[in-house]
Amino acid sequence: MCLSVHIFNAIYFYSIGLTPLVVLNIGSSCLYVLFLTLFRKNSDLQIVFAYFEIIIFSFFSEVVAGGHFSYVNFIIGMVAVVFFLLPFRNKKKHIYQFIGVVSAIGVSQITVFEYSMFPEYLPIVLEHKVFISCLNLIITLFTLFYVSNLYLVELNEARAKLDYSSNHDVLTGLYNRRFFEGIMKRSKEENENAFSVAMVDVDDFKHINDTYGHEAGDKVLERVSHLLADVLPKNAIAVRWGGEEFVLYLPMMSVDSARGVLENFITRLRESSVIYRNQEIRISATIGVCTGDSISEYENYIRQADEKLYWGKKHGKNQIVS
């Protein structure tokens, strides 16, 4: 954007015969091209360069124009822009802003005293000062509008990521225990004819971690979570409860219907495997499932499902216990 403004200025000032500003804008354009070529991957450095280039450019432009072109608006606008665009970790932002404020005060003094390095160009300056001043104000306002909206977009994205991470397990992408307990507590007044709760535990998970490493264990958990997401109905909720355990909430579903869904899941799980460092890791799981009719008692149903899961672990694993 800055480069485009300089190119436009060079053409415009050439057309009206304001030679010093033509030279100044051509020089700035060349600096931008050179800098963007050498440091195109360092966005923070580009912002800092543009900031100080605008301050220096505005100072010399007003010295040429006797303070009549309102380039001080550029500096004032950039004081806010540099704060928005530079990352929070940059501790020099406030120093940059202070330099910008002092520079804006200094450039404004040129306007007060109407000092011009080239008084012979003042007739041209006075003839075009209204148009150029208004144009500079529009550019500044547009820049502030664009950057503030960009900042809001980034803020909303960061907030969405924070909301997601607070409600989901980072590894598996499933809901986390805190989120599940929160929605169940908020729904305690609701009653349903029937719903099922299942507790899923990956078989021999400690052995997988000890044999292949925790990275392999993570891949197993990812595969289990992906299969759960594939087989569960849309209104069901899958939760990573902790470690290798998952809780499934299946609304409006009897234990027989839930078993049908879970049989599909456990069959697909048996048929799948994880390849880790050229080694095949077979996966199975044990599931305990029970049916309830009162959300306010969900903790009790989870406890029952956990007891059935424990029984299944003691009697062969790789099965569904209802």
Is there a contact between 116 and 122 (Cβ–Cβ < 8 Å)?
yes
Half-sphere exposure of 278 (CA within 13 A, CB side): 0
Is there a contact between 249 and 185 (Cβ–Cβ < 8 Å)?
no
Q: Which of 318, 207, 322 is nearest to 267 (CA)?
A: 318
Backbone Cα Rg of the chain: 33
The C-alpha atoms of residue 231 and residue 270 are separated, in whole angstroms, by 14
Count of CB atoms within 10 A of residue 255's CB? Answer: 19
**Could you tell me the two tokens for 293?**
């009719």
The distance in angstroms from the start CA to the end CA of the chain is 66
Is there a contact between 174 and 228 (Cβ–Cβ < 8 Å)?
yes
CA 155 remoteness from chain centre: 8
Q: Which residues are catalytic?
A: 244
Q: Which of 236, 257, 244, 237 is nearest to 309 (CA)?
A: 244
Which ranges in the chain belong to alpha helices (H)?
2-16, 19-38, 43-65, 72-85, 93-113, 122-167, 177-186, 205-212, 214-231, 255-271, 298-314
Q: Which of 61, 52, 59, 75 is nearest to 22 (CA)?
A: 61
- Residue with tokens 């306007």, as numbered in its chain: 111
Give the type of residue at 70: S
Check the CA dihedral 184-236-245-214 and report its sign: negative
CA 43 remoteness from chain centre: 17
Give the type of residue at 291: T
